[in-house]
Amino acid sequence: MGYLHEGHVSLVRRARAENATAAVSIFVNPTQFGPNEDFTTYPRDMDSDLAKLEGAGVDLVLAPPVEEVYPPNFNTHVDVGRIGERLEGEHRAGHFHGVATVVCKLLTIVRPDRAYFGQKDAQQCLVVKRLNEDLNLGAEIVVCPTIRDPDGLALSSRNVYLDAVEREAALSLFRSLQLAKELHQAGETDAAEIRSRIRRLINEQPLAAIDYISVADAENLNELETITDCVILAVEMLSPGKFDIVLSGINEGSNLGMDILVSGTVGAAIQGYYREMHSIAMSVASITNLQYDAAASAAASLVKTIAANKDLPPLFLNVNLPNAGADKIKGASMTRLGPRLYLENVERGTNGRRTHYWIKHNKLTNRPVGEDTDIFAVRNNRIAITALNGVFEPDFESPDLQPLADGVMSALGHTNGVVPI
């Protein structure tokens, strides 16, 4: 829409490198602005834009006046369905109708071989892909990486609105994306937990107001609850019949007691166990300054020991480690689930169209725990190994699994094996 920055210019450079001719459209599209949005004040500087485009080697600039794009008798609009109605579309009614309509017109006028869009507007990219495919417009839609300032803020024409304090608040967007990526890479598969952590991070900024937080399928924006599909896909489709053990994790943060009921890490392990495979959910009891070495050694030990014992029935183990180096861990124990409940309260909010309710997990209730529980073990710097078979199959007759715990301690360099309680 103009007021070009380095993000726009990067698209031009790529188009210039991959095509014989590069064309750019500049058009502040009124139909994608809501009644209380910034159409009249949206930054514009055509002379500067044209100079930047000339410097980048653009061959053609399409900058039509509004009355040519939308003449008085104009009455056709493009609706791409659900993909344009959720997330941003839910909070900006009609926005993607306007986007889809003007992009359809521009692609029809120019008829490019390829059209380049920035990943920053991820939902817009999906909308454009959908209309391009559905209407047989014939362009290859190329999505290019987001360009950011050194502090991480994505380049945007609207950044000119921000003062220094507001800019610092806006950085919570980038930090929340980083947090989500780190959580997932660390093994967190519970989408609700990821959303909760992001919400807490953004709420630390008084000037930041949340419209929505979404953990969704990148192709259709369907919301995800637990990210366990990878196990199902691998077991059922990619390598059917070739797995013996599923290891889920290493998760950032413990999964003790009743946490297992809402844990994506445990949920992913369940998918393997119900397919009669040994399954291990592994977590480290911290969300900051994590020490993964002990957990990695413990995981390797458990996998090797279980794989070597062909007589074991399928096991479902929930393993929690204290956040400590191997030399600081005092032992490993076979445990049971301890009592772990949260005080909760419900927050009510609205986006102007719908009412939302958010269940917040607050501090843990102070309940006594037995010395044979997972909670007690981790509190006392011990590794807790809990066989969940009996939780899901009451008639399960567990073999003696203490050698698994002994093997873990040996793998951590404790020559005397497990330290008794």
The fold of 6-144 is Rossmann fold (3.40.50)
Considering only residues 286 and 16, tell me which one the structure prediction assigns the higher pLDDT. Answer: 16
Has residue 224 got a pLDDT over 80? no
Helix, coil or strand: residue 140:
strand
pLDDT in tens, 190-206: 788 888 899 999 998 88
Give the pLDDT mean for 106-129.
95
Please count the other Cβ atoms lying within 10 Å of the Cβ belonging to residue 157: 18
Average of per-residue pLDDT values in the chain: 86
pLDDT recorded at residue 419: 42
Is the pLDDT at 307 greater than 70, yes or no? yes
Q: Please give the residue that has the higher pLDDT: either 234 or 71.
A: 71
pLDDT at 418 over 50: no
Question: pLDDT (tens digit, 9 = 90+) per residue, 59-84?
Answer: 999 999 999 999 999 999 999 988 89
338 Cβ contact list (under 8 Å, min separation 6): 256, 257, 369, 370, 373, 374, 375, 376
Structure confidence at residue 403 as a pLDDT band (50, 70, 90): confident
Q: Is 287 helix (H, G, I), strand (E, B) or coil?
A: coil
User: Dihedrals φ, ψ of 42, to 5°?
Assistant: -55, 130
Task: Name the pLDDT band for 228 (thresholds 50, 70, 90).
Answer: low
On whether the CB atoms of residues 277 and 314 are closer than 8 A, the answer is: yes
* DSSP per-residue string spanning 342-362: EEEEEEEEE-SS-EEEEEEEE
**Residues making up the chain, counted from first to last:** 421
Four-point Cα dihedral 234, 235, 240, 243, nearest 10:
100
Q: Which residue, 367, 120, 108, is CA-closest to 258? A: 367
pLDDT digit string, tens, across residues 389-399: 888 787 787 78
Q: What are phi and psi of 298, to 5 degrees?
A: -65, -40
Provide the pLDDT for residue 364: 63
Which residues are catalytically annotated?
A: 8
Q: If pLDDT is split at 50, 70 and 90, which confidence band does 401 have?
A: confident
Neighbours of 150 (CB within 10 A): 5
The whole-number pLDDT of residue 227 equals: 59
CATH class of 229-411: alpha beta
Q: Is the pTM of this model over 0.85?
A: no
